[in-house]
Amino acid sequence: MAVTTDHIREKLRAEIGAIHVEVEDTSSSRCALSFKVLVVSPQFEGKPLLQRHRMVNTCLASELKEIHAFEQKTLTLEQWEKQKQQ
């Protein structure tokens, strides 16, 4: 399985109900496979940041074995709407 931006995006949408996912491949600036993601999901509602990150990490557990660096930002729909207005 090749870990690509599209693969990560689709898996997050399918498994944690993400309504918005941005995936940036930052590998070119590093020595190995690396990604930066922004995930917006209604499933994050009422959950602390650590629990949200664990949800993403669990969803991408097999992919993370191949990824050297992974940066994530997780937002609820309300947080995403506020951020877009700024």
Instruction: Indicate which CATH number applies to the domain containing 16.
Output: 3.30.300.90
Torsion over CA: 48, 53, 55, 58 (sign): negative
Q: Categorise residue 67: left if φ over 0, alpha if ψ from -120 to 50, beta otherwise.
A: beta
Q: Note down the domain range covering 56.
A: 5-85
> For the segment 39-85, what is each residue's pLDDT rounded down to a tens digit?
999 999 999 999 999 999 999 999 999 999 999 999 999 999 999 99
Quote the pLDDT of residue 1: 65
Residue 27's contacts (CB-CB under 8 Å, 6 or more residues apart) are 33, 34, 35
Element of type H or E holding 24: strand 20-25
15-35 tens-digit pLDDT: 999 999 999 999 886 668 999
pTM, to two decimals: 0.91
Number of folded domains in the chain? Answer: 1
- Give the pair of three-digit tokens for residue 56: 């993403």
